[in-house]
Amino acid sequence: MKAEGRGESHPLVPNTSAENRARNRRVEITLLVAPDATQAELNGLARGN
Q: Three-state secondary structure along 6-22?
A: CCCCCCCCCCCCHHHHH
Cα-Cα-Cα-Cα dihedral sign, residues 6, 26, 39, 49: positive
Distance CA 37, CA 44 (A): 11
Q: What does the pLDDT look like over 20-30, one tens digit per residue?
A: 999 988 888 88
Banded pLDDT at 48 (limits 50, 70, 90)? low
Distance CA 49, CA 7 (A): 34
Distance CA 49, CA 44 (A): 5
| pTM, entire model | 0.49
